[in-house]
Structure 1
């Protein structure tokens, strides 16, 4: 049962990391709102790297953000968190391939495989947390600008890429938790498989009486022999 749980957690983590990679390069992190606009001639959409515009004919143009230092703080932090999530997810996949019980790497050492599986689970959880913070922080700023009546710029709505990011982050956290739970079962399996080289004592040799040491001629169990005859005169 533990192998099924561990394998399920590993594939959840892999799928979640793939979804986060798609999210990072998806252009639809936020889409311009049509609320209050009677005629919409163009649609704007952005992600962490660029801003794009499309018109009613389907032609669109994209431009990269001109300067990293000119970006807002939450946008820079979201970039760093998403990249960290992908790095954690990559190392989680590599550690998970070693720690899975169905793989041949370190097959004879269940404790080592359990440790690698736990490391993979922890890295997967870290990846999900980083991605969840990044996506949620970005969505918070979208909603804050949208409901601010004094905001002068273009108002945006949450794009489909954020929903994909939330799903990937959730899969990473769930998969990492399942992999961490498998460590205890692997350690118990390793302890059950230990054999102790115990040899029972030989009954024939244990039944043999111990040899008695011969007493010297001048010693005996009778205490009188220890004294000369003159001692009683």
Structure 2
């Protein structure tokens, strides 16, 4: 990491419950760096919202932590809240259907798996908590991509070529866009063998209190078990669980 970035981040650690406001002189002394260097680093942090200056005179300045840290902290808090609320429902669903259950979110330009409940079957999928995947591969990621605003979709799909995980043949963007429209209209995503061979995935959206899609609930297993009547049962139970999680997060459909 760039040394200037490292030094700037260490300055943030100087602010504590007992020291929520520090002068330039105090920061320079505690960080053991010259005042001009401290001022330059503090100015960069201030310009980006990580600090704000509460007082300035000809002799010194005072700084406090900025609202950008609150914003970032809220993002982390929301994701932890989502995991904690969703996990009991995911565990109940996994016990009921005995298939692998995932919780997937958008993380910048990719999809990230933030929770997973295994089945009791011998098959083990290669997904893990923290794994990232392109948003155009797999039912969980594609569900999220389908509900992103058109401009975000265009940005994510702007690469000259999109490739599957296990094939060099590029993905047809026009067909993908049609599939995303279908996912949005039908309210669920379906994929076969896109992340693991001989496996099928189905996913449903999870909404928050603002009626925004913030995650997808994905169920995966051997394709031979995702057929006929059993597929309809899996879809119904996954949908019901996604609705329960959404209601727990404050989601209400129009008219409720």
- Normalised by the shorter chain, which TM-score bucket? under 0.3
Normalization by structure 2: what TM-score? 0.23
Normalization by structure 1: what TM-score? 0.24
Q: Highest Rg: 1 or 2?
A: 1
Q: Which has the higher helix share?
A: 1
Q: Which has the higher strand share?
A: 2
> Structure with the greater relative contact order (CA < 8 A, sep ≥ 6): 1 or 2?
1
